[in-house]
Amino acid sequence: MEIEVLRIGQRLVRDDRVTTHVALVARAFGASKILMTEVNPEIRDTISGVNQTWGGDFKVEIIDGWRQALAEKKRDGYAVAHLSMYGEKIGDVQERMGAEERLLVVVGAEKVPREVYDEADYNVAAGSQPHSEVSALAVLLDRIQQGAQFERGFAGAKRRIVPSGSGKNVEQNC
């Protein structure tokens, strides 16, 4: 399954840390790319540094506008899953979403325009209480892949963690 993430409504400067965390979760939980409107270039550098150390080829694409990006992805055959606390229960749609070949997961930052709800194939909630795009994204990606994302390796890693119940065990230059 190909998964990409679209973040809309980034609040300039204030949101840098959250945006970085959305990108880190997308990468660690099996997405291949995050699309977002112009943000602090340091976010790209951070993700690029994480790729270099921990492997993989996760991409950050800076887009001109979410409308165009959404339309292009739909043309490319992506089903669109918009995360919103007003959406359907995730347990009711996770199986259908998990069977999609290509999925674009849309997360907001502040109020999301009505158009996004209308364009989405799934409006899906990780519980019906407000929390965060970071947590909602993690829950969705885990539910649709049923944990398989954590079994995959990240090619070209300089460091690899050997899971351990007692302290840190890290292989270098693997």
- The amino acid sitting at 141 is L
Nearest approach, Cβ of residue 15 and ligand SAM (Å): 10
- List interacting residues with ligand SAM (CB under 6 A): 83-85, 107-112, 125-127, 129-133, 136
**Please, what is the minimum distance in Å from the beta carbon of residue 74 to ligand SAM?**
18
By beta-carbon proximity to ligand SAM, the closer residue of 63 and 85 is 85
| CB nearer to ligand SAM: pick between 9 and 55 | 9
Q: For residue 133, how far is the Cα from the chain centroid? A: 9
Q: Which residues, in sequence order, are CB contacts of 9 under 8 Å at separation 6+?
A: 108, 109, 110, 111, 112
Any idea how long the chain is? 174
Give me the least distance between CB of 162 and ligand SAM, in Å please. 34
Residue reference for tokens 């997308």: 26
Nearest to 150, CA basis, from 163, 137, 159: 163
Q: Which is nearer to ligand SAM, 51 or 84 (CB)?
A: 84
Q: Which residue is nearest to ligand SAM (CB)?
A: 108
The CB-of-32 to ligand SAM minimum distance in angstroms stands at 20
Residue closer to ligand SAM by CB (options 3, 157) is 3
Q: Which residues contact 67 (CB under 8 A, 6 or more apart)?
A: 115
- 151 has which bridge partners? none
Q: Which of 123, 116, 109, 106 shows the shortest CA–CA distance to 31?
A: 106
Furthest C-alpha separation in the chain:
49
Which is nearer to ligand SAM, 124 or 157 (by Cβ)? 124
Q: What is the closest distance, in whole angstroms, from the C-beta atom of residue 36 to ligand SAM in the complex?
A: 13
